[in-house]
Amino acid sequence: MGKEEDHLSSLATLMLRLVLGGFMAGHGAQKLFGSFGGPGMEGTEAMVESQGLKPPRPWAVMGGVSEFGGGALTALGLLNPLGPIGVIAAMAMAAKTVHGGQPIWVTEGGAEFPVTNIAAATALMLGGPGKYSLDRVLGLRVPAWISFLALVAVVLSVVYGPEDQTDQEPAGEESKGEPGA
């Protein structure tokens, strides 16, 4: 790769990091602090509880921290790949709990947007933070085993965290099926 091509590739990575990381950090700030018209922790906790994540407070905190912290680390290019992994965690949980069972398109309640964010975060996780990052400036490198453990924690949280809502009836409603069914 020539110098100009390397420079353009590094600028592209920087742009992706700043946009994805900045928006994710802002989204997390809405949940954690009520910034930018967000619900704050109380509203986030209620939303998380309605999605079947129990107890709701720790899940609300984890979601907000994954978005805010993952976004900030991604934008700064600091401790890669932990920032993108945080983004992937939050978006995978959103895709499963908020958008699961819907057609893919966001206009129909689907996971189009979280899946796009997961793809961008995965590209940054695999490709690295680029030349214009704090990791490069500070000479930091996260050990592979830490990244692996973080990914395992994400997978386990997404797979086993949410309760299965498919067999549960809303409170106060009786079964509409046959008796004993």
Is 1 part of any domain? Answer: no
Output b/e per residue, 106-115; b: 16+ Cβ within 10 A.
eeeebbbebb
Handedness of CA 111, 116, 113, 14 (dihedral sign): positive
* Coil, helix or strand at residue 79: coil
Q: Considering the domain boundaries, does residue 96 fall inside one?
A: yes
**Does residue 33 contact residue 1 with C-beta atoms inside 8 Å?**
no
pLDDT at residue number 164: 52
The structure tokens listed for 91 are 């978006």
Residue 174 lies in a domain: no
Q: What is the pTM of this model?
A: 0.86
Q: Tens place of pLDDT for every residue, the chain, 181 residues?
A: 688 889 999 999 999 999 999 999 999 999 999 999 999 999 999 999 998 888 999 999 999 999 999 999 999 999 999 999 999 999 999 999 999 999 999 999 999 999 999 999 999 999 999 999 999 999 999 999 999 999 999 999 999 887 654 444 444 443 333 334 3
Residues across the chain: 181
The number of angstroms, rounded, from the C-alpha of 20 to the middle of its chain's C-alpha atoms is: 11
Structure tokens at 70: 């993952």
Determine, yes or no, domain membership for 154: yes
Domain carrying residue 105: 11-160
Structure tokens at 166: 């498919």
Report yes or no on 171 lying in a domain: no
The per-residue pLDDT for 149 is 97
Give the model's pLDDT for residue 48.
Answer: 93
The verdict on residue 136 lying in a domain is yes
Number of compact structural domains in the chain:
1
Inter-axis angle of helices 3-33 and 40-50, to 10 degrees? 90
In a domain, 24, yes or no: yes
Q: How far is CA 96 from CA 22, 57, 115, 118, in A?
A: 23, 19, 10, 13
pLDDT at 163: 64
- Domain presence at residue 128: yes
C-alpha distance from residue 166 to each of 70, 149, 151, 163, 170 (Å): 30, 30, 27, 9, 10
